[in-house]
Chain A
Amino acid sequence: MNDESARKRYWLDDPANVRRVIWGLVGVCALVVIADLLYEKHVHYGFQHWLGFDAVFGFASCVFLVLAAKQLRKILKRGEDYYD
């Protein structure tokens, strides 16, 4: 059974399908920003009214988070047996 499932090709094994998923994500991202034009926003702060505020904030937050964590690793990383 194991050999059989190891040989089996899954949908995501095809790089073309992975590309489809990525383009799908890009499409959804575009849609949710365009959606901002179609309704009246009820928010607390002026800056939240900007077109796609949450989109930009989310993207920037994650890039900052990952790049900052990458720098932190330079200081904090130790071998797995550090405390042993």
Chain B
Amino acid sequence: MIESLPPGLVLVLGALLVPLLRGRLRQALLLSLPVLGFVQLWLLPEGLIRSVDFFGYPLVAVRVDALSKAFGYVFYIAALLNTIYALHLKDGLQHVSALVYSGAAIAAVFVGDLISLFVYWELTSIASVFLIWARRTERSSRAGMRFLLVQVSSGVLLLAGAILHFTETGSLAFDHLGLVSLGTGLILVSFGIKAAFPLLHNWLQDAYPEATVTGTVVLSAFTTKLAIYALARGFAGTEILIPIGATMTAFPIFYAVIENDLRRVLSYSLNNQVGFMVVGVGIGTEMAIDGAVAHVFAHVIYKALLFMSMGAVLLRTGTIKATKLGGLYKSMPWTTCFCVVGAASISAFPLFSGFVSKSLILTAAADEHHTITFLVLLFASAGVFHHSGIKIPYFAFFAHDRGLRVKEAPLNMLLAMAAASALCIGIGVYPDPLYRLLPFTVSYDPYTTTHVVTTLQLLFFSALAFTVLMLTGLYPPERESINLDFDWTYRHALPALGSFLTRTAGAHSAALKEAGRRVLGRALERFTQLHTPPNILGEPWPPGPTAMWAALLLAAYLLLYFL
């Protein structure tokens, strides 16, 4: 029976059993589901396509190829690591939410049409928000609502784009789309929201740090990487993605340097790492796409590892502010070690996973003569070592000893971090199995003398810069503060404008009513006139654009309603 189930659904269906079980039985179920799913995926042959009939239109419920398999494997690995990390939790809501969310993300990479993609796209949004709400604070409830609104809007745009694309081409197939029409443009924006493109990015840094200790780890794995899968599938070689991705690698790291909440620092660096993948997809050569996929694979694991280590710190000390932390290596030595492994991996140190994946993208950029992009990526590589590689471990575990003496992280958390660390080092030391999983299986040797020496120069001199800035006191001290980002527009500016307008309107209500009556009367007159043939609105409208406008209006209404 299990072979006929679309990949991912074993997690979604298994989640339904979680509330029925308690204790060891529940833990056994939680652990077995990702393993079962992984084995099922292993057995699925590449090239498999299974269609179902949907109101006379064939939808591709399952499509298995090298690209989807690579994402499927790493998503299952992430799901298993997350389960181990969260195994001590008694909160069934979080387990169910994590399983449905991971399952939906996996299912989404194995569908072959835009409508099925939309369904799982929205399911990931709805399931994941509970990982934020499960913190059960006023703050997390509001952050979760903002997160959900943005995510659902992305889905609505996807649906609108799909409908428009269908009316233009008669196809709902989710293959290469390219930026060729309004429909595919809407789909690209929808993917861009989930991938956290510049100015569409802020839901990520806003919401992820507000989730629970384990929830943030789960969130870090799937949403943005599902978007990278969708971009690689639909928009490989779309040139506009190169400058977008390059901006993503560079712009968030300035924020990461001055941010005080260490899980928010990691969210900014997540945004920066996803930028590398977007550049890879935009370049679109075989090496670049392989680089993007390899980087997803490495990134999902080391990012989860970093969030796990910060989660353990939050769990044990009750805070994740750099201003309140320091010296924890004395009481959490294992967590410190694992965090350093994650930090070395994200920084692309030789023998760690980032080293064998990120360089594919940089090499592809140089091969295609994207010189400025190459230099921006090099700048971002130095920067990521600075804020993720050094800042995170330094401020949490070293720096000033604040006298915090806590217990080491729980055993299951340590095991999850150990497994993730082993994978980070394993991939770094022996990258061949990862390279064989890639869609184009390019031949690439990361361990050339040039690559090793130049990388070490970049990284050690970044460390030297940090040391010099620290010793000279030029390094900006940690402050208990937040930094304004793009969410200021919808969290502050728009509501302020709204209340200003309401106040002004209240003060002049009589005059406004009179003016309103006049305008409405005239509009009604004009409306009647327009709706009589041969005027434009008297004609019947084609259904595609109408549905699109209806969907867009609905999205706009939803946004305005909740803000």
Within the complex, what minimum Cβ distance (angstroms) separates B153 from chain A?
A: 20
Closest residue to A44 on the B side, CB-wise?
Answer: B366
A16 proximal to B (CB < 8 A): no
Name the B residues within 8 Å of A66 (CB-CB). Answer: 257, 386, 465-466, 469, 474-476
Would you call A76 and B483 a contact (CB within 8 A)?
A: yes
Which residues of B have CB within 8 Å of A62? 382-383, 386, 461-462, 465-466, 469
The 0/1 profile, CB within 8 Å of A marked 1, for residues 459-501 of chain B is 1111111111101001110011111110000011000000000
Question: Does more than half of chain A's interface fall in helix, strand or loop, or is it mixed?
Answer: helix
Residues of A within 8 A of B491 (CB): 83
Report the bound CA distance from A62 to B379 in whole Å. Answer: 8
In the complex, the chain B residue whose C-beta lies closest to that of A41 is: B450
Inter-subunit contact B254/A39 (CB<8 Å): no
Q: Tell me whether chain B's interface is mostly helix, strand or loop, or mixed.
A: helix
- Residues of chain A within 8 A (CB-CB) of B456 are 32, 35
Number of interface residues of A (CB under 8 A): 50
Q: Do residues A73 and B386 form an inter-chain contact, with CB atoms below 8 A?
A: no
B378 lies within 8 A of chain A by Cβ: yes
Q: Which of B329, B367, B378 has the most CB of A within 10 A?
A: B378
A25 CB, min distance to chain B CBs, angstroms: 6
Q: How far is the CA of A2 from the CA of B467 in the complex (A)?
A: 31
Known: A22-B467, A72-B258. A55 touches B461 (CB 8 A): yes
Q: B476 — which chain A residues lie within 8 A by C-beta?
A: 66, 69-70, 73
Report chain B residues within 8 Å CB of A26: 464
**B387-401 CB contact bits vs A (8 Å, 1 = yes)?**
000000000001001
Bound form: Cα–Cα A67–B457 in Å = 21
B367 touches A44 (CB 8 A): yes
**A36–B466 CA distance with the chains assembled, in angstroms:** 23
Question: Which B residues lie at the A interface, using CB under 8 A?
Answer: 253-255, 257-258, 329-331, 363, 366-367, 371, 374, 378-379, 382-383, 386, 398, 401, 403, 405, 448-450, 453-469, 471, 474-476, 479-485, 491-492
Question: Mind listing 14 A-B residue pairs with CB under 8 Å?
Answer: A12-B398, A28-B460, A32-B457, A36-B457, A42-B450, A44-B366, A58-B465, A59-B464, A59-B465, A62-B465, A63-B465, A66-B466, A68-B254, A73-B476
**With A5-B330, A58-B382, A79-B481 given, can you name 5 additional A-B contacts, CB distance below 8 Å?**
A22-B471, A39-B449, A43-B450, A67-B474, A69-B255
